[in-house]
Structure formats: C-alpha cells, structure tokens
Structure 1
Amino acid sequence: MATNSITGASFSMRSLRHHFNPTLAKPEETTTEKVCKIVRKQLALPDDSNLTGESKFASLGADSLDTVEIVMGLEEEFGIAVEEDSAQRITTVQEAADLIDEILKKQSP
C-alpha cells in the first residue's frame, strides 16, 4: 500500500482499479448523433424523439428559417463554416453529418 507523504492518505492499486473502469467510459458521440441533438434543440423536439440519419428536416416540421438556424447551430458546435449553397442542399440529418465530416476532413492538416 502506498502512502502520500503530504496528506498521509493511503491507497492501493486494487482500490484505484475498482473505481476506474474503462468499459464504463462514455463512447464519443458520432457526427450524426451530434446533428440529431442539435436538430432536437433547434426544433424543440422531445429528447426521446426518434431521429435517424434518414430523418428529413421538412418531415420534422422545419421551415427554411429553422433549417438556417440548424446550420448555424452546426457551425457553432463543430467550429466550421458552411457555404450557403451547401446549406441549401441539406435536407436530412445524414446529409448534414456527411457535409460536416467533409468540411472537417478538408480542415485537417
């Protein structure tokens, strides 16, 4: 058992392993999951609403202003800029996620 000379606290490696379990660590969210979260927020949809990559913004009740706000939320979340012509072509969650991944890939050195 190791003792910390400053505080006098003692611990064992066994107790540290017991408290840290990497299998319980939360996995990184995918781009599609992040887009779904932003769409839910922008459209004030319930957290349990069933959104998938195939979900169409129009089917969710989004008008053109809502879509602009979704794109602005995506730009803020991912630290990107979406060109207006690209933004106008986004109609589904997956299209938004694919565009974000493409922009991020171009930004990577």
Structure 2
Amino acid sequence: MASFTGASSGCLLSPPQLSRQCLASTRISGLKMVSFSNSGRTNLPLSFRSLQISCAAKPETIDKVCNIVRKQLAVKDDISVTGDSEFAALGADSLDTVEIVMGLEEEFGITMEEESAQSIATVQDAADLIEKLIEKNSA
C-alpha cells in the first residue's frame, strides 16, 4: 500500500518497492491516481522507490484556462470544457494551440518555453504547467 505525505509543491509517493509496470491510471477530483504492482521484484532501482508526483492545479486556475480555451476556440455554450478536455477534441489545430498559449501567458503573466508548450494537450496539462511556472517565478 502506498503512503502519501504532503509537500509544498506536490505529494510524495514512497512505497517500499514499485514495479515498472503501471496497472491502472484514473483521474479522481483532479488528482491522477496510479496503481503499481510489485510483480515479485525485490531489487528495484532507487528511482522506482520514490516518485514525485505533483498535485492538480487549483480549481480557479482550471476555470481560467477553460474560459480562455472556450473563448479562443469559440466553443459553443452547449459543449463542456473541463480539465480533461483535449484541445484537439475541441477543434484546435497547432495555430490555435499557439494562440491559446499566448493567451495563457498574458492572463497569468508567465512565459512558457516552447518545449513545455508543445507538451500541453489538455486543459489540465496547461493549468498544471501554469501553476508550476508561477511557483517557480515566485521562488
């Protein structure tokens, strides 16, 4: 059974041993829960004994990102935009994604590296990256 301990920038998952194979992954209340199986291994590398996972972005950050995405893509009111919404599924092409990133940078007063911006596929990805950048800038 995994144990969680709080940390200022995330949560620490540190079971005694983890396998390399993740068996299940589900989003619950903005947190990504992951199950691991030991698979009979006893001498796993140190990197598998302690994982750093970041907690989900604040609801107000997700709401702001949803509003920016909705506005930028002219999403109809009857279509739901949530943390799990994928930009591509909402009709965004690469130019739309660049414009969304620019809108997020302006709204939150941040600058996203090109590599980081390219890894954003969902509203949740964007909100998590924004909070990480805000925390980094305030440190």
Q: How high is the TM-score relative to the length of structure 1?
A: 0.71
1:87 & 1:31 partners in 2: Cα distance?
17
> Is 1:31–2:61 an aligned residue pair?
yes
Residue in 2 that maps onto 1:103: 133
Give runs of ≥4 in structure 1 deviating > 3 Å.
none
Structure 1 residue runs without a partner (length 5+): 1-28
Larger Rg: 1
Please give the alpha-carbon distance, in whole angstroms, between the structure 2 residues aligned to 1:48 and 1:76.
27
For these two proteins, the number of residue pairs brought into alignment is 82
Matched residue, 2:124: 94
Report which of the two has the higher share of helix: 1
Report Cα offsets for 1:44-99 as digits up to 9, x if no partner.
11345311111000000000000000000000000000000000010000000000
Q: Does 1 or 2 have the higher relative contact order (CA < 8 Å, sep 6+)?
A: 1
Q: 1:49 aligns with which of 79, 95, 100?
A: 79
Structure with greater proportional strand content: 2
AA of the residue aligned to 1:55: S
Equivalent in the alignment of 1:79: 109
Normalised to the residue count of structure 2, the TM-score between the two structures is 0.56
Same amino acid, percent of matched pairs: 68
Question: Structure 2 regions of 5+ residues with no counterpart?
Answer: 1-58
Following the alignment from structure 2 to structure 1, what is the Cα–Cα distance between the partners of residues 118 and 64? 20
RMSD: 1.6
